Structure 1
Amino acid sequence: MAQAGQDAKFFQRGKIEEFRADLHAADTKDKKFVKRKTVLKKIVANITMGNDMSPLFTDVVQSLGTPLLEIKKMVYLFLVSYGRSAKPEQINMVIPFFLQDVNDRNPLIRALAIRTMSYIPIPVVTEALTENLRHCLRDRDPYVRKTAAICVAKLYTADPRRAEKGGFVEMLRDLLLDSNATVVANAVAALSEIGDRPDGVIFKLNLTAANKLLAALEESSEFVPERHSDAEIMAERIVVQLQHANSAVVLTTIKILLYLMNYVENRRLIEYLCKKMGPPLVALLSSGPEVQYVALRNILLIIQRRPAILKNDVKFFFCKYNDPIYVKLAKLEIMYRLARAENYREVLAELQEYASEVDVDFVRKAVRSIGRLAIKVEEAADGCIQTLLELVEAGLAYVVQEAVIVIKDIFRRYPGKYEGVIPKLCEHLDALDEPESKAAIIWIIGQFADRIDNADELLEVLVDTFQEETVEVQLALLTAAVKLFIYKSKSETAKNLVHKILKWATEEVDNPDLRDRGFMYWRMLALNPALAGEIVLSEKPAITTDSDRMDRGALDQLLLHTGTLGSIYHKNPETFIRNAAGRALTDSPALNPNSRAVLVHLPRLQLPDRQIHVPGRGPVEPREPSQTDTTSRAASLPLIPEDVPEVVPPPLPVRPPQNNGNNQNGDEDADNSDQEETSRTRNDDPYSNLDGAFGSYLADEPRPMGASAHQGRHNDDLLF
C-alpha cells in the first residue's frame, strides 16, 4: 500500500519534450540510475493513462543497455505497447538488445526478453524469436522454460507455419514430462490454446501422460479414458481435491469428475462421486456475491445433468434479504429445478414470501416460479393455485399480470380442474396493461367462452383497442373472437365481433402472420363452420416444463466448460468468441452408451499444408448447411354465411397420468435416453444471444409435449 501511494505521484500528464530532456539529463551523474527510473516510471504512467508516448521510442530504447532489471522491465513494457507500430529502423535498433538479453546470465532477463519478443508479431522480431526460443525451451532454469512454453503459443498465433516447421509444437509436447509442475502447467495451457484454434492440431493423451499431468495440474479434460477402469482410477485420485480451499480448484475438480463419469461403468462409484460433490458446491455459497453467482450458474448446469448431487439441499438456495438481485434470480431458478413432490411445500412457502418483496422484477420471477412449480409437480398444483389467488386479491398490478400468465398455463396443464377461478381473474381485467398478460386473459376468455356468460362483452371491450395493440395481443384477439363465434354462433354480438376483427386483420394491418391467419379463419368460417370448430377447438396437448431443459448433448458440451465464461452465459465459447473451436465428449470404448447416443460431433477445418501429425484423430469434414424454400400466396375474401349452425364444442381432453420428470437418480441417462435428441444451432454472429444470460422470459413459456423439445434451443435461457 505504501508503494502504491508513492507511485501515485507519477500519474501526471507530461510533455514529450520534457521527458526527452529528462532522459538525456539522466545520462550524466546518475550512477545508480535513480533519475532514469523516475523518468521511465512517469512515461509508463502516461502510457497507462492513454497518452501517446511513441515519439520517445528511440530515447527509451537506449535505456536497454542499463544492467538494472527494473529499468529493463519498464523499457520492455514500452516496447510491448509500441513495438507493433514502430518503424523498421527503430525495430532493427532493438534486435541487438534482444539477442544480448536472451543470453544473459540472469534467468529473469532471459525470460523477459523472449516474452517481449513474442508480444511483437512482426517478421524481423519473429525470426529472432524463432532462433532463440528453441534454446529457451531447453533452458536449465524452469522459469525460462515456462515462459518459453507460452511464447510458443504466441508464435503459433503469429506465424503457424514457422512454428510447425520449427518443431516447436513437438518440443512443447515434450515439456509435458518436465520435472517442474509450473512448466507442465504452462505447456498444457499453450497446447490447449493451440488446439482450440479451428485450424489447430488435435492432441490425444494416453494414461501415462495423463497421470503425469495429474501430479502437477488439476485440468485433465483432454484425457480420454479407453477403459472404464482408467476413468475410475482417475476419479478416485482427483476426488480429494474437492476439499481444496480455492474455489477455482473445486470447480475444476468438479468439471473433471463430471467428465470422467461419462466413462465410468460402476454405478456405486457414480453415486459416491455425486454425494461427494454436493458439500463443496454448497460451500461456495458462503463466498462473496460474485463467486456465488459463478457457482450458481454452474450449479444450474450440473443439477440438470446430475440432479442427485443436490437433491436434498434445496434449503441452501433460499434467498437472503441482502443478496444482490442477480444472485436471487439464480437461486430462484435452482429452487425450481430442485423442487419435487417431497419438498414442494418448503419451496412454495419460500416463493410466497418472495412475492411480497419490494423488488418488482424479483416478485415477477417469484410469481412465475409458483406457476411453473404447479405445472412441474402435480401435488403442488392446489397449493399454487390458492397462493396465486391470494396474490391476485392483493390487487398489485404487476402481480396480477404475472398470475394471469401462469394460470393460463395451469389451465392447459390441468384442463377442466381449475376453471372456477376464471371469474376472479376477470374482475381484474382493467389491471392488465402488458401485452403478455392481455394475451393470456384473452386466451382464457376465448377458450372458455361457453362457460363465461359475458364473454362477448369482455371481448368487445378489448377489441376497441385492436389496432393499437401489439401483434401478440392482436393474434390472441383474432383467435378468441373465432372461438366465441363458434361457441355462440347465434349471438349477434359474436357475429359482429368476429366480422369486425376479420376485416381489420385482413385489410388494415401490415403484419403478414396476422393477415394470413385472418384469411384462413375467414375461409374456414365461410366454407365449413363445423370443420372450423373441429380445428379451432380441437383437443390441446398437455404442456410440461420439460421443454426448458437443455438438450443432453449440448449439456455435456457445456459441462466441459465448467468454471469458465461459457458456463456463466450457458453458451459454448465458439458462439461468442471468434476463432474458438468447439469442445465435446470424445468417443472411446469406455464411453457410456447413453452418452454416446447424444454425442455431438464437432466439424473441424482441414488444412493439410499446416497439419502436424500428432498422435490423435484427424479433422472431420464440416457438414453443408441445408437450404429452405419459401412460398407466397394470395387470397380473396369469401362471405361468412348469415345462418351458421350451432357447433357443439368437443369434450374436454382427458389428462393421462404423466411423469413429472423428477429424476433424482444421479444419472438421467437410464430414464431419459430414449427422449433425448441431439441438436446444434450455429449462429453466424459470434456475439449474439448473450442477453439471456442475465435473465429473460424466453424459456418460461411451457411448450406442448407433442412439439420438439429442442426447437429454438439457442434462444432458451435456463435462468428464465
Structure 2
Amino acid sequence: MPYLGNEETVKELRRALSNPNIQCDQLRYRNTVLRVIRSMSQGVDVSGLFSEMVKACATVDIVQKKLVYVFLCSYAAVNPELSLLVINTLRKDCQDPNPMVRSLALRNMTNLRLPSLVEYVEQPLTAGLRDRAACVRRVAVLGWAKLHHLQPDSEIDAVVVNELYSLLRDPDPVVMVNCLRALEEILKEEGGVAINKPITHHLLNRLKECDLWGQCEVLRFLQRYRPKSEDELFDILSLLDASLVSPHPPVMAATLSLFLSLCSGVPSVSLAALERVRGPLLAACGSGSREMKFAALCHIQLLLRSIPGLLGAHYKRFFCGYAEPAYIKQRKMQVLVELVNDDNVGMLLDELKGYCTDVNPDTAQTAISAIGRIGRSYSDKCLEILTGLLGLKQDHITSAVVQTMRDLIWVCPQCSDTVCSSLEGCEETLQDSQGRQALLWLLGVYGERISSAPYTLEGFIDEVKSEISPGVKMELLTAAVRLFLCRPAETQDMLGRLLHYCIEEEADMCVRDQALLYYRLLLCGLDQTRRVLQARRSDPSLGVFIGRPAEPVGQWARSFNTLEPLKDGAVETEPASRGSPEHVTFDPKPRSDLPETLKKKTSTPANTSLCVFFLQGCEGAREEEDCVWVEECIECPTVPHCSPQSLQAAMQLVNIQALAFTPPQALPWRVYLYTHARRGTARRSLVLGELLYTGAACRLGDGRAEDEQTEATAAGRAEGEDGERRGIKVTLRLQPRDETCLRGFLSVLTTVLNTLTEHSD
C-alpha cells in the first residue's frame, strides 16, 4: 500500500526530471530515474511522474531505458491513455541497430498488458519473428503467447501459428523451446501443440543443444507422441539413452517419465529403465539441496512400489544425518522400512533405535513407528527395542511405543505376552491422549493377562472428571466393560462409578451416549454383552499380508515427475492392516509359467453372459449409494487348493489386489479382493469382491427372472435347480454405479480363475 504524505518527494523528483541541466548530464539523469524506481519500491505513489518518465525513455543509455521500462510497465494500467505516448518510442526502438534494444522494446511492449495497444504491437512482433538476432526472436515468440493470454477470446491467426511451427527448426535452441511454449498457450483450446513424427525426431536430435530446463520442456512435450511401430519405439529410446543417466536430476526424471509413457505396453523395458536410474537417483539423494533431496526420496518411494529390492544393497545411503531437517529424516525412514531384509535387519534396527531419541519428537515417533512396521516380520528383535525404549520414561517416546505395540499386537498376536508384561507403570508417563487411548485399548483387550489392569483402570476412572479428551473417556468406557466381562469381581464397583458419572454428569454427548449403550447392553445380560464386545472380529483362518505386493509400473507412471508424490506427505509404505492376525505361509516357488499363460488369456477376455441382480430389500438404499452389486457362481473347484502365492501373483497380473485369504484346502475358503477400474475418461471406480467356496452348491438369489436362471453363463459352469450352482461364489460391489465396467471385471476374474484351474490340473 502506498505511503501517505509523500507529495514533497514526488514534487522534488518531478522538478529533477524536468531540469534541463540534469537532462543534459546522462549520469545525473540516470541517477534521478533510479531514485524514482527506489521510491516506487518503497511504496511511494509515483504514478504522477508518468509523463516525465515517458520522456526519459527517449535515450541511448540502455540502462536508463531498462529502468524507465520497469516504471512504465508498473503504472501502465493506471495511465492507459498516457501509455499511448510510449508506443511510438517503443516502435522506434524495435528498429534500433542494437539487438538488445530491439529485444528490450519488444518485451516491454507486451508487458504493458493493455488490450487497447494490441493493434500497435502485432506488427513489431511479426517482424521480430524474422529478426536476424536470436535474442529478438526469443522475445517475439513469447510475445505472441502474451498477446493471446491478454485476449484469449480473439481469433487465432493461422499465419502466426504456421510461422511459429516453422520456427521449431530455428537454429537457436531457446527459440525452438519458446515456440513449443507459445504454441501450447495459443492452441490450448485445440489441445495444445501437435507433435508428429517429423517434429518428434527433430526435437530428439536437437535435445542435447538445449539447456537444462529446455530439455525438460522438450521431453514433456514428447510424451504426446506415440510411435507407430516397435522399431520406431526403440529408435526413440536409443536417442534418449544418454539423457536417462544424465547427472542433472530434472533431465533424468523427465526422461524416465517419457520412457514409462512410451513403454507402457512393454513392461520389461520399463523395469530395465528403472534399474538404470538407480545411480542418478542415489546421487540426487546426496544433493546439497534439501528440496532436491526430498523430491528424490519421494520418487524413490514410487519406484520401490514396483521393484522393492531396487536399492536393497544401498540402504546405508538412506541413513539420516544429524543436521538434516525432520521432514527428510522421516522420509528416509519410510524408505528404510521398504529396504529391510534378513541380511540388513539388524543394522537397520540399530540405526532406527538411535533415531528414537532424536530431539525432534516427530522424528522420534516416526522412528518408533518404523520399528513397529518392521516388527510385523521381525517381531522378536523389534519388541526388544520397543521394550527398552519404555525404560526411558519420556512422554512422547512412551506414547509412540504404546501406540506401536497396539498396532503390532493386532497383526502379530504371538507378541501379546511380551507386550502385556512390559506395560507395567506406563500410565505414569503417558500424557497425550493418543497414548492413553492405546494403553486403554490394550488393558481392555488383554486385561486378563495384565495383573495390574484393574488398578490401572481405577486410576483413570478416579481422574475421569479432569480428563479433557472425549476419545480417552470413550476408550475408558470400552476397556472397563471388557475388563468387567473377564474380571468382574475386581471391576464391578469402578465400572458402576464410571457409568454413573458418564450418564449423569458428563457434558459430551458422544461419551454419554456410549455410556448409555453399555448400560443398556449390560441390562440385556452378560452373554449379550460378550457377543458384542468379545465377538470374533473376523474369520480366524484369514491371514494378513506382510509386506506389499509389487505394483505394475503403470499404476504410478503418470504421477512420476509431478507434484503428486510430494503432496503425499504421509505416504504409507505398507497399508495398515486391521484384519485377523494369523499369518499365512506362502509357497516360496509359485508357478513360473502362470504369468505368460494368464497374459495370453486376459488379452482377449472370455465372452461370458452374466446374470446380474440386486439383493432384495436393499435395492433402494444401494441406488442412493450409487453402487451396483453382482453375484455369480464359477466352477473352479481346484482354485481353493492353489497356493496363496500363485493366487496372489495371478491376481496382480490383471491389477487385482488380494486383501486376505484363508489357507489352502480350508473350508470355508474365502478371498477378499479389490481393484480400481476406469472406463475412458470417466472417474475411477472401486470394485470390492469376495470369493467363497464351501464345498457345497452355492445359492445365488431368489429374485431373478426365469430366463436368467436358465441362461448359460460360460463354458464349464454347472447350474442346478432352484438357482444353485456348483463352484466358487463371487460377490462383487462397484461404486460408482457402472454395470458395464462390473461385467468386464467379472469376465477378467473368471479368466484368472479358469487359468488357475487349468494349471492345477
Distance 1:345 1:81, change over 3 A: same
Q: Which residue is 1:700 aligned to?
A: none
Give distance in 2, aligned partners of 1:221 and 1:418. 53
Secondary structure of the structure 1 residue equivalent to 2:375: helix
Aligned with 2:522 (options 512, 521, 525): 525
Aligned with 1:145 (options 132, 137, 143): 137
Of 538-547 and 204-213, deviating more is 538-547
Give distance in 1, aligned partners of 2:234 and 2:87. 52
Secondary structure of the structure 2 residue equivalent to 1:139: coil
CA positional deviation for 1:245? 4.1
CA positional deviation for 1:401? 1.4
Whether 1:22 aligns to 2:16 is yes
Q: Which residue is 1:71 aligned to?
A: 64
Give distance in 2, aligned partners of 1:155 and 1:141. 21
CA positional deviation for 1:539? 3.2
Aligned with 2:215 (options 214, 218, 240): 218
Distance 1:296 1:249, change over 3 A: same
Give distance in 2, aligned partners of 1:508 and 1:304. 48
CA positional deviation for 1:403? 0.8
Are the counterparts in 2 of residues 400 and 431 from structure 1 also a CA contact under 8 Å?
Answer: yes
Give distance in 1, aligned partners of 2:468 and 2:552. 35
Whether 1:487 aligns to 2:479 is no
Are the counterparts in 2 of residues 243 and 250 from structure 1 also a CA contact under 8 Å?
Answer: yes
Deviations, residues 3-56 of structure 1 (Å, cap 9, x unaligned): xxxxxxxxxx9922232222223x447667222222222323333344433222
CA positional deviation for 1:460? 2.0
Are the counterparts in 1 of residues 440 and 475 from structure 2 also a CA contact under 8 Å?
Answer: yes
Q: Which residue is 1:209 aligned to?
A: 199
Q: How does 1:58-457 map to 2 (within 5 A)?
A: 58-84=51-77, 86-162=78-154, 164=156, 168=160, 171-192=163-184, 201-214=191-204, 215-216=206-207, 217-219=214-216, 220-222=219-221, 223=223, 224-226=225-227, 227-265=229-267, 267=268, 269-290=269-290, 291-375=292-376, 378=377, 380-457=378-455
Q: Which amino acid aligns with 1:92?
A: L
Q: Which amino acid aligns with 1:71?
A: Q
Give distance in 2, aligned partners of 1:204 and 1:54. 44
Deviations, residues 538-595 of structure 1 (Å, cap 9, x unaligned): 334676787999998874342141xxx5553348xxxxxxxxxxxxxxxxxxxxx99x
Give distance in 2, aligned partners of 1:508 and 1:493. 21
Q: Which amino acid aligns with 1:280?
A: P
Secondary structure of the structure 2 residue equivalent to 1:491: helix
Q: Which amino acid aligns with 1:504?
A: C
Distance 1:119 1:47, change over 3 A: same
CA positional deviation for 1:412? 0.3
CA positional deviation for 1:277? 0.4
CA positional deviation for 1:110? 2.7
Q: Which amino acid aligns with 2:347?
A: E
Q: What are structure 1's unaligned runs of at least 5 residues?
A: 1-12, 572-592, 598-625, 630-656, 681-707, 712-720
Are the counterparts in 2 of residues 481 and 501 from structure 1 also a CA contact under 8 Å?
Answer: no
Identity %: 25
Give distance in 2, aligned partners of 1:138 and 1:69. 23
Aligned with 1:41 (options 18, 34, 43): 34
Deviations, residues 206-233 of structure 1 (Å, cap 9, x unaligned): 3332222232352323324245554443
TM-score normalized by the length of structure 1? 0.71
Q: Which amino acid aligns with 1:491?
A: A
Deviations, residues 398-455 of structure 1 (Å, cap 9, x unaligned): 2211111101111001114332331321322110011111010000000112222342
Distance 1:674 1:410, change over 3 A: closer
Q: Which residue is 2:595 aligned to?
A: none
Distance 1:436 1:234, change over 3 A: farther
Distance 1:312 1:258, change over 3 A: farther
Are the counterparts in 2 of residues 388 and 403 from structure 1 also a CA contact under 8 Å?
Answer: yes
Give distance in 2, aligned partners of 1:250 and 1:346. 31
CA positional deviation for 1:313? 1.6
Deviations, residues 235-286 of structure 1 (Å, cap 9, x unaligned): 3322312444434333333433344443434x1x334322220111111233
Distance 1:548 1:558, change over 3 A: farther
Secondary structure of the structure 2 residue equivalent to 1:364: helix
Are the counterparts in 2 of residues 485 and 495 from structure 1 also a CA contact under 8 Å?
Answer: no
Distance 1:446 1:247, change over 3 A: same
User: How many residues are paired up?
Assistant: 580
CA positional deviation for 1:673? 4.7
Q: Which residue is 2:559 aligned to?
A: 558
Distance 1:308 1:102, change over 3 A: farther
Distance 1:538 1:151, change over 3 A: farther
Q: Which amino acid aligns with 1:451?
A: R
Deviations, residues 101-152 of structure 1 (Å, cap 9, x unaligned): 3343433233222322322322212333344433333434332222223223
Q: Which amino acid aligns with 1:455?
A: A
Structure with the greater alpha carbon radius of gyration: 2
Secondary structure of the structure 2 residue equivalent to 1:313: helix
Q: Which residue is 2:50 aligned to?
A: 57
Are the counterparts in 2 of residues 506 and 519 from structure 1 also a CA contact under 8 Å?
Answer: no
Secondary structure of the structure 2 residue equivalent to 1:394: coil
Secondary structure of the structure 2 residue equivalent to 1:485: helix
Of structures 1 and 2, the one scoring higher in RCO (CA 8 A, sep 6+) is 1
CA positional deviation for 1:334? 1.8
Q: How does 1:585-604 map to 2 (within 5 A)?
A: none
Q: What are structure 2's unaligned runs of at least 5 residues?
A: 1-6, 208-213, 570-598, 604-621, 626-642, 659-673, 679-732, 737-761
TM-score normalized by the length of structure 2? 0.67
Are the counterparts in 1 of residues 22 and 28 from structure 2 also a CA contact under 8 Å?
Answer: no
Distance 1:465 1:146, change over 3 A: farther
Whether 1:535 aligns to 2:532 is yes
CA positional deviation for 1:388? 0.7
